[in-house]
Structure 1
């Protein structure tokens, strides 16, 4: 039996080709009138390969009476209302695991760039300033303590790397984790007060919005370093800009922003901050693995197998039938 699968926006060829080979694929972005096309095909759609930043909420899901599964690209899924999907009997999958090491590598690169001012020193050389005098001495990782906000798979991979660099690690999350040897702080404020580098790997969403605010940045201190490779919404960007301007903290390294790809000009103009364009998992190897997981989740589900990586809000097997 042919299964109709919708793709909402352009995505990597590996996903398009993989889904097209296994199912009857409907590419919404190719329609002359996407709204009319969606109204036409929505009653037969059983699966969705989610592209772009399509918001999955009640209004979106109510269009698809036969929808069974949504396969989303990326480990973060704050664009998906998992509770509403579960209410509709729709399984939602994402792509965790396969990107952990890549993001952790990027995070360590971002830390080194922020603390040792590596991009700034390269610009210094390119501008010919080294001909006149050496680049100024920088801060260091030596003697630092790192606090990780969100000690999940990626957080643990970052922690292992920090340990290899001789950096002490502690963490904050909803609860202490069994079998974890790092010091746990029950509140983010306590963590910030006891570290001089805060590494944010927390997911987005209402619960984590602006967790890192003016108070937390002040607690981090004047030698403090803020690193964010989780979600931009976790950090109050206005408070961070002010803290950097006032030298409330030393520096920041950011791979994510509140309104991507729009980055505040104040951050772009600053020298005491390092900015990456959300490249945490952006290698050919890792993005191919993520894309294949999108395809495999759909193929396995419609073959009668368990989807590989359902989000916690829509567990497998289903709690209730649609």
Structure 2
């Protein structure tokens, strides 16, 4: 059995070597010739999986180690009798940590307390629902919008117009091209033009969810909002001028904790085992290394505000990724796309908040609650 895989999916040999022969390629460069005699295809979000790629091949299973399926033509796969699987929720905690970490730094940069701010979450899926809970437990006012879920009967959702009036807007929707709930340019020019100067916009979903040309115009206009972009139209080649106007820009790494990426690999491995009737011989815990940071300790006299933000930024500080991406934007145009992909390929080992045990002396129930809300393991003395 032959397996073709994106070379940047972690631990593919460890999980899949017992299933078949593995050949890896850069995800953007996988061609019909590569998959012609393959039985299994393993991808990430950067490989379009469609008729053009797979017609005439013997592929019978496609696994994408990502939450979304917008890069996969599921209608074609179903018509061709090809099984497919994704990894819903695999990196949801990582994206929540990205947003929380970014807000922590912005609180200093822009001079506000988290509890003062309201947050509008666009999309209450795996990520949005976890983010809603975390931010509410941090004391922030949270309103979420998700028409498909509202139609399915979920409660406590708000109209998009109301959500867009919040101090912070965080986008967590898939890219949907057709049907009643399309999300391409969900944040249209009209919406973007009406963003206030005191608002913060964070997009870590898909670049095409907002109108980048309109956003660039708004950021050039008087009293612009503060914008954080982790995703862009046309990746890996991004709009340098737009990036320069944003408060922070990062190279599509919001979900890039090692824990989240390996969870995606494990999930598609399990799906493949079920599909071909093999026992599951491997588990995530077999392969994850010991985290470089295991414990943080705060004394009884530690200021709760300082302790919360210190813990968050010790695990994730958006300024590191922002600086790395901005350095690539100074390269010649023909080198920037490769540099963007290299930042993702060689991304540092970032571990989830849940890998860190925090030692608290003297109770501090409020601090304990907030640290737990964003995923830390707490031990009080």
TM superposition score normalised by structure 1: 0.74
Correspondence for 2:81: 89
The alignment's C-alpha RMSD in Å is 2.8
Correspondence for 1:310: none
TM superposition score normalised by structure 2: 0.64
SS at match of 2:227: strand
Matched, 1:295 2:269: yes
Contact 1:189 1:219 in 2 (8 A): no
Change (3 A) 1:165 1:184: same
SS at match of 1:244: helix
Correspondence for 2:105: 113
Correspondence for 2:161: 189
Equivalences for 1:42-81 in 2 at 5 Å? 45-50=38-43, 53-64=46-57, 66-81=58-73
Out of 247, 265, 270, the position equivalent to 1:273 is 247
Out of 102, 125, 131, the position equivalent to 1:152 is 125
Correspondence for 2:197: 222
Change (3 A) 1:219 1:28: closer
- The offset of 1:223, in angstroms, is 1.6
- The offset of 1:145, in angstroms, is 2.1
- The offset of 1:232, in angstroms, is 1.2
Correspondence for 2:185: 210
SS at match of 2:119: strand
- C-alpha offsets along residues 92-137 of structure 1, whole Å, 9 cap, x if unaligned? 11112232111111111123334542xxxxxxxxxxxxxxxxxxx6
* Distance in 2 of aligned mates of 1:214 and 1:38: 40
Structure 1, unmatched stretches of 5+, are 118-136, 307-322
* Distance in 1 of aligned mates of 2:204 and 2:15: 29
- The offset of 1:34, in angstroms, is 6.8
Matched, 1:246 2:238: no
* Distance in 2 of aligned mates of 1:35 and 1:99: 29
* Distance in 1 of aligned mates of 2:264 and 2:82: 21
- C-alpha offsets along residues 232-263 of structure 1, whole Å, 9 cap, x if unaligned? 11011111122122145420111111122333
Correspondence for 1:255: 230
Correspondence for 1:233: 208
Contact 1:57 1:84 in 2 (8 A): yes
Contact 1:144 1:168 in 2 (8 A): yes
- The offset of 1:182, in angstroms, is 3.3
Change (3 A) 1:268 1:37: closer
- The offset of 1:51, in angstroms, is 5.0
Correspondence for 1:25: 22
* Distance in 2 of aligned mates of 1:140 and 1:58: 50
Instruction: Count residues with an aligned counterpart.
Output: 272
Matched, 1:98 2:90: yes
* Distance in 2 of aligned mates of 1:269 and 1:103: 23
* Distance in 1 of aligned mates of 2:169 and 2:45: 29
* Distance in 2 of aligned mates of 1:158 and 1:16: 33
SS at match of 2:130: helix
SS at match of 1:22: coil
* Distance in 2 of aligned mates of 1:59 and 1:274: 36
SS at match of 2:18: helix
Correspondence for 1:124: none
